[in-house]
Amino acid sequence: MDPSALISEGYGFLLQFDGEKVQAWLDGEELNIYGSGYYRFDEREDSYQWYVPGYKNFTVDEAGSKVKVTMAVISSPQIFIKGNYGSTGSDQYNTLYYIKQGLDQWRERIIQEAVRTGVGAGVFLVYILLGQDKKRADMALARGTGKVWFEIKVLAALLLVFFCLPRPEYLGDIWQELIYAYGDTPVAEAIPGDVYLNGDIMAELEQNGISYEEWLTENGFYDGYNIPLVEQTASIGTAVTILSENGGWLFREYLRELADHIPGLLAAFWGLYLLIFNDWRYNKRPWRRGVIAMLAAWGLDLPLQRRLSRVCGVTALTALLMGAVNLNLLVYASSYRGGVPLEAVWTIVTPAALLLLVCAVLIWRLQRLWTDFGAVADQAAAIRAGRLKRELALQKDSDLSGLADDLNHIGQGLHQAVEERTRSERMKVELVTNVSHDLKTPLTSIISYTELLAQEPLEPPASEYVQIMGEKAQRLKAMVQDVFEVSKAASGQLPVKLEGLDYARLLRQTLADMGQAIDNSGLILRTSIPEHEVPITADSDRLYRVFQNLMGNALKYSLPNSRVYLSLAVEDGQATATLRNTSAAELKPGADYTARFVRGDESRTDGGSGLGLSIAESFTKACGGVLTISTEADLFTAAVTFQVAEA
């Protein structure tokens, strides 16, 4: 028999029972119902046998043999309702339909969760593989967000949370229902204009000549809608009880809402990540750039007494504004409620009036103290600036007269000390100048005669002695010149010609001029100097001498066959050239290598004079830069920093 002839279109399963055997077709193909012919429900391989009569050990009685069964099952369950409105109403046979719908929904949800999990795993894998790139991107984004005012970022974050997160009022509605469930506390009666249901109540009541308050008191409802005569609130204890008993449920409810608003949740997450987390991670103290920081820094260039007066003025203005607000609230309440009790007026006005009076007395009393305090601060600033001859004169009954006298004595003492030191430095420079001049004349003669002797055909060891004498004379000449320049730099008499120059180009030029010495040293030089221009302001000749000394020091005292590193970097408006080398001799921790006549290896008697780093520091300072020397074990580091000039 062709089963397709017995079932309609859309049906995929047919079962027939002829009183003895069962036959079944699925999608046009007949199923093997009985298998081996025996029903074995307790065996694993037969656990899915059909529980129907017709097996050799599963027969049917005589009554059952007279029954004929035909059952057709639709391929996709549909809703079926039979209306029996004459008796019971309607009969529904939709169990299979709802089972299939539930399975389809669960299948769809499982697929969605699997897709989300896969996407999340893929994103996490990308994060692991591109971690360094992400870090650089975060730093670039932080540089951009760092230029935005802090208050704007906070406002944007709050707006993202408010508009992107799902239904902020959702929990508020549930909370209000819980408050009603746990009890209520009347806090205010309903007043005219508070409630409008099914049209304008006031207009209808006026037409009927009924008072709105009278109608509310008697009825409390309108057209089937109850009008609450009290507002509901919750005490702290009630709120704690609600949260302790329903906190988990409230949280789950809100999580369910979040799950249905993925785009908004992602927008809020990434917005908060960029504006708050990433910005605070790479921009230290971001609140320093904003309106509040500008207001806090506003007026810092003013004298101290002006700033203190301004603070007190702002305080007084705040008190006046509070008083004005209180007065405005009184007027508003009086017009809205029809009058305010006199004791309420006194309760509100009296504290504000007393506050204004106290502020006025304090301002009058402290005005003179602020003026004197500002004068003392100006005197301290003058002493710091070197104006030591200025004396501070305050009235004898001033609270700060003793402090003013102490500052005057300090200024006088510093003035005397500076005068003595200046005189000593002047005498020292004059002595060094005179000695240098006196040494140069005979030293020049010695060098000249040594050169003449070197031209004569002398036999060893006389020729060797002449060569040694010439080298020592040249060294002595260099030492005399170094001492002379250090003394002039220390006294502030070193002439400098400040001009704009390219820091990177100066370093490359210095290395090119010292190329022969670098090649002969046996050291390996590693450089990291940018190709673009790094503009600074300095004396090119003096700065050239600085790096000549630093590089010569590295070539002379580095560990043989080691590496020397020279780099130039720009950060936060500062250009820093750093020279690193490994010392052949042990470096003393905490030693001041920029002091005069200090050498890294005290046991050596040849080579430099111990003035190279001292000259480098003096010349760097004269050019407006900073030389920093640091040591870590045998690693010697010299850093020369200048402010980047405008190109």
> Could you write out the DSSP letters of every residue in 37-54?
SS--TTSGGGTT----S-
DSSP label of 330: H
The number of beta carbons lying within 10 Å of the beta carbon of residue 504 is 20
**In sequence order, what DSSP letters do the residues of 613-636 get, joined into one string?**
HHHHHHHHHHTT-EEEEEEETTEE
Question: How far is the C-alpha of 472 from the C-alpha of 470, rounded, in Å?
Answer: 6
Amino acid (1-letter code) at residue 557: Y
With a cut of 50, which residues of the chain have pLDDT below it? 184-199, 221-234
* CATH assignment, 495-643: 3.30.565.10
Task: Check: CB of residue 24 under 8 Å from CB of residue 3.
Answer: no
Is 78 in a helix, a strand, or coil?
coil
Q: Do domains 411-494 and 495-643 have the same CATH topology?
A: no
Question: How far is the C-alpha of 17 from the C-alpha of 24, rounded, in Å?
Answer: 9
pLDDT value, residue 117: 92
Amino acid (1-letter code) at residue 212: Y
Q: What is the CA radius of gyration of the chain?
A: 48
Question: How far is the C-alpha of 11 from the C-alpha of 496, rounded, in Å?
Answer: 103
Sign of torsion over alpha carbons 524, 526, 531, 533: negative
State pTM to two decimals: 0.40
Q: Is 536 exposed, middle or buried (0-12, 13-18, 19+ CB in 10 A)?
A: buried
Q: What would be the CATH architecture of the domain defined by 411-494?
A: Orthogonal Bundle (1.10)
pLDDT value, residue 127: 86
pLDDT value, residue 224: 40
Angle ∠(554,560,561) on CA atoms, nearest 5: 100
Sign of torsion over alpha carbons 253, 255, 258, 262: negative
HSE, side-chain direction, 13 A CA sphere, residue 627: 24
pLDDT value, residue 198: 39
DSSP label of 230: B
Question: How far is the C-alpha of 560 from the C-alpha of 266, rounded, in Å?
Answer: 59
The number of beta carbons lying within 10 Å of the beta carbon of residue 145 is 20
Task: Check: CB of residue 466 under 8 Å from CB of residue 446.
Answer: no
Task: Check: CB of residue 232 under 8 Å from CB of residue 184.
Answer: yes
pLDDT value, residue 5: 64
Query: Which residue, among 243, 197, 238, has the nearest Cα to 216 in the 3D structure?
Result: 197
pLDDT value, residue 526: 92
- So where are the chain's domains? 3-75, 135-294, 304-385, 411-494, 495-643
pLDDT value, residue 529: 92
Question: How far is the C-alpha of 392 from the C-alpha of 405, rounded, in Å?
Answer: 8
Task: Check: CB of residue 246 under 8 Å from CB of residue 178.
Answer: yes
And the tokens for 607?
Answer: 């080579």
And the tokens for 221?
Answer: 């409802």
